[in-house]
Structure 1
Amino acid sequence: MSRAGLDKDPREVAAMFDGVARRYDLTNTVLSFGQDRRWREITRRALSPKHDERVLDLAAGSGVSTEEFARSGAWCVAADFSLGMLSVGRHRGVPMVAADALRLPFQDESFDAVTISFGLRNLVDTQAGLREMLRVVRPGGRLVVCEFSTPTWQPFRTIYLNYLMRALPPIARAVSSNPDAYVYLAESIRAWPDQRALAELIAESGWTDVAWRNLTSGVVAIHRAVKPS
């Protein structure tokens, strides 16, 4: 299976990411016109990891984001269910764990913060994933979600959606090790809730103080929340 469907069967999603692992980070940089680096930096600032904190980076892929978070002195673990992605990042020097986001292999209240970048959209059950993240974070702990979202300016939104469906797959064919996976990417972004709807979903999952910030005119949004004390 070269790409997953919008039913997001976990085995198909994992196999799809195994197929894109070899050139995944490069492809992301090309498709985002280099904005992925800026998005990671802003996500790190939103997470604000502190020295000696324990941070779970979920759907971490090759661990490029985990490595950035760890520069703060926090103990950061990369978790992903794609063994191919974890294998590509094994040189990064951060702990890596093969894990299903819906059944995390960690005890209750194990972490000070949890973050997931461009991975929440791929879970077969978004709320179940958010509740599992809530379980493994201590009371008062933090959640930061960086995910594709809905552009706020209507003319740009039209241009962006056309780019997703028409331009993104051809570009992916030039640089990706599994270009068909980026058809799924375009379809899953179009089907994903907007900023407010995702905030409501996070709150319904038990998190409090939910807020969001738009990046790149809403192409990406960062949502933050806190586990009730």
Structure 2
Amino acid sequence: MTRADLGKDPRDVSAMFDRVAARYDRTNTVLSVGNAALWRAATTRAVGAKPGERVLDVAAGTGTSSASLAKSGASIVAADFSPGMIEVGRRRQATVPNLVFVEADAMALPFGDAEFDAVTISFGLRNVKDPKQALREFLRVTKPGGRLVVCEFSHPPTRVVRAGYDFYQRVVMPPLVRLSSSNDDAYEYLNESINAWPDQRTLAAWIREAGWTEVAWRNLTAGIVALHRARKPLDAE
């Protein structure tokens, strides 16, 4: 059994994702009841990549979101710190010409300053040991005026939705995980990490604290997921 805990040691988290890589996309589709594709589409639209741009997709996993971004004609760098995920991603996305995979730690990205027109991360920021440091790194590698898009699980604002989501996590999700995943324990951690993650306003404050401006968010699926957007100041170095 391989799982991380809320201490989020990078070696443990990486090993956990190595273990689930082969069935990761299928499990996400099952557990999200098909909503994963809708969240991916919303994120792709929010990034708004254009031909000639260079976009960094952090915690890209098997590159499903990266491949969606690549349809724009932009040059996409899919970064992940799980070698197992990258291996699966390179195989599955081998026909996408404008997509490359790079093994990278979100807290210490192996890129120069101001290399990217946009940086995005989907369902990965909460797995980073120090998400505030990651947000600062995202700022560093983004060009002045460039864009940030963060898609992450969040907190439904209404009591009825919160109660329904809690029931789903406690009662419905465990048997679905056993049917679709190669590592039940990993998804116990993922559930814990979702529940421990801050709400929309707190994450927005973290993004501003890191130096981003024009910070805003909108809820997806009644606030189970939130899509945060921001820009790097034009006068930033």
> What's the TM-score bracket when you normalise by the shorter of the two chains?
over 0.9
SS in 2 for 1:180: helix
TM-score by length of 1: 0.98
Partner residue in 1 for 2:23: 23
Taking the aligned partners of 1:210 and 1:166, their CA distance within structure 2 comes to: 35
Taking the aligned partners of 2:45 and 2:168, their CA distance within structure 1 comes to: 29
Partner residue in 2 for 1:196: 201
Q: Is the 8 A contact 1:168 1:186 kept in 2?
A: no
Q: Structure 2 counterpart of 1:52, which letter?
A: G
Deviates more, 1:72-81 or 1:83-92: 83-92
Percent of aligned pairs sharing the same letter: 61
Q: Structure 2 counterpart of 1:172, which letter?
A: V
Taking the aligned partners of 1:12 and 1:169, their CA distance within structure 2 comes to: 22
Deviates more, 1:195-204 or 1:88-97: 88-97
Taking the aligned partners of 1:212 and 1:173, their CA distance within structure 2 comes to: 33
Structure 2 gap segments, 5+ residues each: none
Taking the aligned partners of 1:45 and 1:166, their CA distance within structure 2 comes to: 33
Taking the aligned partners of 2:187 and 2:171, their CA distance within structure 1 comes to: 11
Structure 1 gap segments, 5+ residues each: none
Deviation string 1:95-129 (CA, Å, 9 cap, x unpaired) is: 00000111101000000000000000000001000
Alpha-carbon RMSD across the aligned residues, in angstroms, is: 0.8
- Pick from 217, 220, 230 the counterpart of residue 215 of structure 1: 220
- Equivalences, count: 229
Q: Is the 8 A contact 1:165 1:186 kept in 2?
A: no
SS in 2 for 1:89: helix
Taking the aligned partners of 1:165 and 1:181, their CA distance within structure 2 comes to: 15
1:158 deviates by: 1.3
1:42 aligns with 2:47: no
Taking the aligned partners of 1:131 and 1:162, their CA distance within structure 2 comes to: 36
Deviation string 1:114-169 (CA, Å, 9 cap, x unpaired) is: 00000000000010000000000000000000000011211110120222133222
Deviates more, 1:11-20 or 1:162-171: 162-171
Q: Is the 8 A contact 1:13 1:122 kept in 2?
A: yes
Deviation string 1:179-226 (CA, Å, 9 cap, x unpaired) is: 111111111111001111110111011111100010000010000000
1:187 aligns with 2:192: yes
Partner residue in 2 for 1:228: 233
Counterpart mapping for 1:124-163 below 5 A: 124-163=129-168
Partner residue in 1 for 2:87: 87
Partner residue in 1 for 2:72: 72
Taking the aligned partners of 1:16 and 1:76, their CA distance within structure 2 comes to: 25
SS in 1 for 2:57: strand
Q: Is the 8 A contact 1:140 1:226 kept in 2?
A: yes
